[in-house]
Structure 1
Amino acid sequence: MNATLGLGTYRVRSISEAAKAAVASGADWIDTAPNYHHGQAERQLKPVLDAYPLVPVSTKVGFFTPDQARKALAEGVLTKEEAEAGHCLNPRAVTWQAQQSLAALGRAPAITFVHNPERQLHSRRDLEVRLYEAFVALEKCVDRGLTRGYGVATWNALHENFISVDRIAHIAKQAGRGTSHLTAIQLPLSIVHIRPLVDAGQGYGFLTTAQSMDIDIFASAPLHGGDLLQMIPESVAEEVAPGASPLRVALGFVASTEGVKRLLLSASSAAHWADAAKAVEEPLSDKHMKEIASAFAP
């Protein structure tokens, strides 16, 4: 089954308009974070979420805007050093951000992602301790109705083998005392970040591991910030997958990879969504997948 399309709100111009266009065009998820759009993303989404109560939303804990950091500092949630860093995953901060997100969104998110837990860390042990403490806090948040589940949104921890899916799942089970509400991992996957996709096509790697553990993979930046559409000429797209456009090659390759559940696309208009939906409506053939992997994998 092909991966579905969800809205990623990091790069869109107008969050409310992009969310309306995405949902109207069939997007089955909205992903955001407290620090997006100068700290206003969650509040801007609330009217859309109110109008579409069945569309799930995910948010994150970790990053703060300066205004949010000052508020958290004044309330005793952050120390001065933590506030100045702009990123914190201590249990107080995790719980506080989950409370703030519930109020801003108007509902409990389906997933609260631990946002870039590898930030400012150089030790695997430190990363594991940080994840454990955040997961314990999020398990309590689930019990309190502040979120329905949690996950990890990482830019490079998995790509650089700083931690494995197995270890993330193990830490979550420790935090949940044998069970956990860990449901998803979000990370950049595209023809630029192609190696995990190629590995999955051969039946191994962390995407395959996640799938075997029923952990959903959310592919962020599948167009690499839009740059891929300039990086793949029409002639190259035609050569590796006859009849396909650069958009079909770029999105279709990620969407057709076994183990990828959802692509988070920062598309701002209904026209962009229509083009993206057409690009992923059918899985690419095995032959085309191999040709694309051969052309773009290092």
Structure 2
Amino acid sequence: MYLNITTTAGCRGRCVFCPQDRFWAAMAGRPALLTPEELTALLPNLRGTRFRAFAFGGFSEPFDNPEILELFEITAAQDFVDATWVHTTGEALDPEMVARISRIRFDVFDVSCQGSGPGPHAKARPFIDEDRVMGNVHHLLRNRENIRQLTISVSGPFMPEAQVEDLRRACERHGAHLDRRDLHDRAGLLKVGRRRTAVGGPFRCGKHDFRKPVLLPGGDLSLCCQDFALEHIIGNLHAMTFARILEESPLRRRVLSVADGVATDDGLSCYRCEFCIPTRVAAPQPD
């Protein structure tokens, strides 16, 4: 089991391929930040489950939270959490921040970048300083002793090929991985990336397999990190243990029943997500 952790009520990056407007609207009235005090208060209701990782990212940029270092430290101290993962744009990872987090062990650290200088990539993340991101990436590559698996990811057609190749060589020199990713239609909420007709009937999740819910400030758990509109809230950790939420949530049981082919529900928003993969379920055999 994994737990994605969203530390803020919105991401200022507003990447063109990320439906932040839906997330901001859904977070209206909820707390703006996940605080160390709240995460600590939620630990008793998390402790009964063994987690492969707490993954900081979810719906927003983790380093937009001014107390992110304390959140990392709390996670690292838990004996029921095997690893700490981070997914970030990298803009806040200046040398000072890299030095501050150097005492924390990260199992996976993924930095998303789109290039630097003028060009179409600048339109992808107009509120993020890509030149700063690229400088931070190269500094992190040279100072990654506390990171077991470092991935630098590039999404979409925004970075010139020559720059991609330079970045690939830099990653190779420092034992990191360059991951080239296609843009995708986040939860069916955007008109970018691959498009396909809606499906119905049994399905499986091509990315998450319903084992990576997202913790929000305020304690709500969303079914998965494609649920930017927060249509699939399965419970609240202040009110119930994580294990009990997963076992008893009517919404999660409804989704799993459809995925298992024992029920139908064409109204599920899962069908609008490009990670929804139709499956065939064997017909019952006569006795």
TM-score by length of 1: 0.46
Between Structure 1 and Structure 2, the one with more strand by share is 2
